[in-house]
Structure 1
Amino acid sequence: MPESLLVGFSGYARLWADPRVRMVYVAAFFARIPQLSVPIVLTLVVVEKLDGTYTQAGLVVAAETLGAAIAAPWRGRLIDRLGLRRVLVPSIIAVALIYPVVAFASYTWLVPLAFLVGVFLIPIFTVVRLALAVMVEDEQRRTAFAADAIMAEASFIIGPAAGALLATQAGPGIAIAAVGVCQMIGGLMFFWVNPPMRRVKPNEPTGPTMAGRWLTAPVMFVFLVSAGTVIALAGTDLAIIAELRELDSVGSIALVFLFWGVGSLVGGLIYGALPMSIRPTHLLLALGLLTIPVGFGSTVWSLTLWVVPAGVMCAPAMTAASEALTRLVPEDRRGEAMGWQGTAFMFGAAASPPFIGASIDAVGAWGGFAVGGAIAVAFALFSYGEQLVPRFGTKLVSQPVR
């Protein structure tokens, strides 16, 4: 193994040795498990409990993610101004009230309720990335973000599989109610840990030279790459369920998601140990190209093997986008910027499921992989404009670690 990689891997141990950082990782791991299961459980609520179509399920998931997309920048800005705890309280109360109602709702009510679920989603991504950007040195940031992506993949391995298992064994209604209880507990964990969001006091006024200057062209391209990444993941997510239903092997969801998540975990581990960054556009292009052929999987085991290479690109693509954003945005506006990145993620997740669901309904599960991967490739190619147009600058180029 190259010496540079060995040095990079030692950075993970240094991060874990810091008790503040360790508590953030642990809280994020447990808080993400129920949150990552929401799309799967909502999908199963529609297609299993309500006997709906995948297109209808896609609309419900889109409503949930649209709510989160609208709320994310506003809540990120509130974190910048008010601190974490005052922003968490409404979410903790809301999830305790809304999810039990979702468990008994008809499809007509499910769409607006799903929207409210998204609005009050606990902003784990924004909270963790802001905290890490404050608590670690700049040269450790990529490793810290990669470690968070690895922990997120570990949660992802458990969350959707546990949600699907609970929904198939105990029923989708019970599963969605349990998800709400677990999300409330996750919010309480972050309320207790209360990691720092800025190096300065939350109520300190923003300097006039900072206001309005963070939304530059390179930042917009980071948002585009972020949306494209989630579209590829959404296509894979829905298409895996559809493929296993076609194969009459819904019980194998946990196995396929396990291999997909482990692939992403390994990719994130390696990326965090590299001595330099990689352009988010390169990683998105690779993710899209590797997602398209997953549809060739015609058995449970072939599907499981095809999804691994695409999984390897997931965590690096997410990490690179967040790393680039922290380099491009001043600290006193990062909460808002992370919120807008969350909106980009949610936009991709909200806009794509109806189209992906319709393609699955029209041609079968392979259409979900093809459409999700092709859109990601198109976004990656379009975002190369940041590199080709001189006035956009070169802030996202690969940079060696100093």
Structure 2
Amino acid sequence: MVGPYRGLFSTPGVKSFVLAGFVGRIPISMLGIGITLLVHSITGSYATAGAVSAIVSLAFAVAAPLSGRLVDRFGQARILVPFVFVHGIALSGLMLLAHAHAPLWTLFVSGAIAGVSATSLGSMVRARWSYLLSDSGKLHAAFSFESVADEVIFVTGPAFTAVVATSVNVYAGLIVAVVLTVLGTLAFALLKRTEPPAVRHRQERGSPIAIPGVALLSGVLLAMGAVFGSVDIVTVAFAEEQGSKAAAGFLLAAFSGGSMVSGLWYGARAWKITLRSRLVRGLFVFVAGLTPVLLMHSLGAMAVALFFAGLAISPTLITSFSLIERLVPAGQLTEGMSWLSTSVGLGVAVGAWAGGHLTDSFGASNAYGFAYACALLAALVGVAGSTWLRTPVASESRS
């Protein structure tokens, strides 16, 4: 399984940008649960906590394509540096406002600023891989590696945040998130040797979202993001109902752990079926994997169910980014990938809001039904529009 990944790091500069990008995006997995725990500790409402968490994701979803377009035109470093400072200040402001018991609307405002100023660092890491690697087999392995790295982040981040927030201080996880975001992003921006060249005077082609296949993938990942957002909120409440709120991080780690394992396996294989077929199959496995979650009523059983529910996540995301790499012109690659991040972020916002309200109204176990419905919607959308995902046979055969 290690073989396909071994040769990825021989290219000069790769290790540095991979490490910096990894550190800079660790907080992605920490913000949702960190904000949820902080706001819930102040208000006592999962609906309110989910709404504040959702506004961060929603603001990111709205702004990410614009920041992606700016990166394509002006380069990664010129956009990342000012954005990350604003992002760090906004998150720090949110914590200070919460500590001062400021009016609720101020949390929403600071959260919105934090979301708008967040950047899709994962898309920029993948853009560097695309710039450096011409062999599509290696690029498939690189995208798989990045998806696994994302899942390592989502395994460790929520567990760490939940533990330190419940056993040390409710602000501790978010403080670590701010520090890692600023340091990792600045380090990534300073690595100029591997940065893709800016395309300042390109022929205007319009937004990549106008490409039918990109629009379809965005719709699929919007629904998947709603699964992620709702599962984050509902799982925190489920753990509390079972008498161990700190266990929420470990339950979410199980969800991401399944995805991490499947991502390693998926990237190590030389696939003969098309990307389009892989996407459709992955979506149906996602639906099937989530089904047992609806039936679990103990922490141990839920951890096992969430692990199996996560098995389809990485293969589906890897395939989606691989399709984007083929569907979008090179000069718009960061923006094209940002549309996927935008869709996931918007879905997370909707899922967090809905998950919070449904949990308050019907209890955590019943609220998991929303996540299942969103997974089913993602599969139906993917199947209905799969013809838009056809790419040239030559390109497919190289994966």
TM over 0.5: yes
Residue of structure 1 in register with 2:198 after alignment: 202
CA distance in 2, matches of 1:221, 1:85: 30
Q: Secondary structure at the match of 1:248?
A: coil
1:152 corresponds to 2:147: no
Contact 1:259 1:304 in 2 (8 A): yes
CA distance in 2, matches of 1:271, 1:36: 22
Question: Compared with structure 1, are the counterparts of its residues 300 and 135 closer, same or farther at alpha carbon in structure 2 (3 Å cutoff)?
Answer: same
Contact 1:283 1:317 in 2 (8 A): yes
- One-letter amino acid of the structure 1 residue matched with residue 51 of structure 2: L
Q: Secondary structure at the match of 1:103?
A: helix
Contact 1:292 1:371 in 2 (8 A): no
Residue of structure 2 in register with 1:74 after alignment: 66
Gaps of 5+ in 1: 1-5
CA distance in 1, matches of 2:49, 2:300: 26
Gaps of 5+ in 2: none
CA distance in 1, matches of 2:375, 2:126: 23
Q: Structure 2 matches for 1:163-312, cutoff 5 A?
A: 163-194=161-192, 196-198=194-196, 201-207=197-203, 210-211=205-206, 215-276=210-271, 277=275, 278-312=277-311
CA distance in 1, matches of 2:389, 2:165: 49
CA distance in 1, matches of 2:225, 2:373: 13
Contact 2:86 2:117 in 1 (8 A): yes
- One-letter amino acid of the structure 2 residue matched with residue 328 of structure 1: L
1:75 offset after TM fit, Å? 0.6
Question: Compared with structure 1, are the counterparts of its residues 396 and 290 closer, same or farther at alpha carbon in structure 2 (3 Å cutoff)?
Answer: farther
CA distance in 2, matches of 1:197, 1:323: 20
The alignment yields a C-alpha RMSD, in angstroms, of 2.2
Question: Compared with structure 1, are the counterparts of its residues 292 and 110 closer, same or farther at alpha carbon in structure 2 (3 Å cutoff)?
Answer: farther
Q: Secondary structure at the match of 1:333?
A: helix
1:395 corresponds to 2:391: yes
Contact 1:291 1:369 in 2 (8 A): no
1:363 corresponds to 2:362: yes
Contact 1:54 1:358 in 2 (8 A): yes
Q: Secondary structure at the match of 1:104?
A: helix
Q: Secondary structure at the match of 1:279?
A: helix
Identify which of 43, 56, 60 aligns with 2:52.
60
1:101 offset after TM fit, Å? 1.6
CA distance in 2, matches of 1:114, 1:58: 12
CA distance in 1, matches of 2:337, 2:189: 19
Q: Normalised by the size of structure 1, how large is the TM-score?
A: 0.90
Residue of structure 1 in register with 2:26 after alignment: 33
- One-letter amino acid of the structure 1 residue matched with residue 347 of structure 2: G
- One-letter amino acid of the structure 2 residue matched with residue 249 of structure 1: S
Q: Normalised by the size of structure 2, how large is the TM-score?
A: 0.90
Percentage of identical aligned residues: 24
CA distance in 1, matches of 2:92, 2:377: 40
Contact 1:232 1:373 in 2 (8 A): yes
1:211 offset after TM fit, Å? 4.8
Identify which of 60, 75, 94 aligns with 1:102.
94
